[in-house]
Structure formats: structure tokens, C-alpha cells
Amino acid sequence: MNQVQLLPFGSVPAELLAELRDGLSREFSVRCDVLPPEPEPRFAFNITRQQYLSTEILARMVKRNAPAAVRLLGVTLVDLYIPILTFVFGEAQLRGNCALVSAHRLRQEFYGLPTDALLFRERLLKEAVHELGHTLTLSHCEDFECVMAPSHGVEWVDLKTSKFCRSCRSHAHMQKTSEAAF
């Protein structure tokens, strides 16, 4: 991976994207750019669930055929799901080069709590690093502080750091397949 491109779906505040861009650039020591936004992903909306199917959005992103060394990270404020789960914070191609992250459930307001801008930004960075980690072949890690620890809820996100543990860092690489991970 030599570049991360952020692809906003729907309106995502420019300031949030800029902070995420800087954070990812720092974490991975690569260039990170923000692409022009795509419209809200209506094509992935499920009217019964009132949520968006992340797999559909990811499939659209794969069609853009980003170069292998680029990681394309979709960023959205809409609520994502996959059929077997109530929600997902994101989804990624395991060893592919596309990943997607949602900020919807990372806001304190979603849980009826007062706004916490710093916590929100930290959570988004962690989940973005996590999904990008999947594209670097990493699966979930048992070290609860490692960014590759699974996040079944926002409490789990808060427990972990934005960093890879030593083991994950040494195993990250760039082969390409089409499996998916969440």
C-alpha cells in the first residue's frame, strides 16, 4: 500500500475527512487524499431495515478498479448492515483494496449522550485503520488493545487503540483475494 484515498458517500463534513486523512497518513506513513464525494448510496438502502447494505457499497467501490497499491476507503454517515448482523461499523475486502467505514454509530449522540468531538474522531480513526488492516490480510486479533480486535459495540472500539500490535504489524501484507471481513 502506498496511498489511501478517502471516498465520501453522501455528505460527510470536510473537517472530519481532513482529520481522518491526517490520522491515516500518520498511522500508515503513506499519502492520503480525499476524493470528490459520491451521492448518498440510495442503491444500497433497505427500506425494511432503514439501513444501507455495506456489501453493495463495497461492490460499487471495487468497480472503480483502484490500482493495487492504493487503498480505497469509503466514508459515510449512513447506518450500515450486513444480513446476519444488526449493524456493522464497516466492511472490507480481506486482501482486496477496498474498505468502507460508517461514522453513524460512533457518535455519542447516537447513544443519547452529549457530543464528544475528540472521542468521535478517535473512534472513526480506529475503525478506519481496522478496516484497512483487513485489506492488508489481517483478521481479528485477541489483543484487546490492538486495532484489529473485533468491535461488536462502541465499548469495544473505546477499549482498543488505533495501533497494530507487534504480531499484526509483522503479518500485514498485500496479497489480493476477494474474501470479505467486517
Residues annotated as part of the active site = 131
C-alpha cell at 109: 449522540
Whole-number minimum distance, CB 42 to Zn ion, in Å?
26
Nearer to Zn ion by Cβ, of 73 and 165: the residue is 165
Whole-number minimum distance, CB 93 to Zn ion, in Å?
12
- Inter-residue contact 101 to 54 (CB < 8 Å): no
Nearer to Zn ion by Cβ, of 64 and 169: the residue is 169
Whole-number minimum distance, CB 140 to Zn ion, in Å?
6
Strand-strand pairing, 98-102 and 90-94: antiparallel
C-alpha cell at 88: 456493522
Cβ-proximal residues to 155 (8 Å cutoff; 6+ apart), any chain = none
Q: Does 148 sit near Zn ion (CB under 5 A)?
A: yes
Q: What type of residue sits at position 41? A: P
Q: Binder to Zn ion among 141, 154, 157, 162 (CB under 5 A)?
A: 141
Order the strands of the 70-76 sheet from edge to edge: 31-34, 3-9, 70-76, 98-102, 90-94, 179-181
Site residues (CB under 5 A) for Zn ion, limited to 149-178: 165, 168
Report the first-to-last Cα separation within the chain, whole angstroms: 20
C-alpha distances out from residue 48 to 1, 22, 44, 59, Å: 38, 37, 12, 21
Q: Does 146 sit near Zn ion (CB under 5 A)?
A: yes
Nearer to Zn ion by Cβ, of 21 and 160: the residue is 160
Q: Which stretch binds Zn ion (CB under 5 A): 12-20, 67-75, 79-87, 141-149?
A: 141-149
Nearer to Zn ion by Cβ, of 166 and 176: the residue is 166
d(CA 18, CA 145): 25
Interface residues with Zn ion (CB under 5 A) are 141, 143, 146, 148, 165, 168
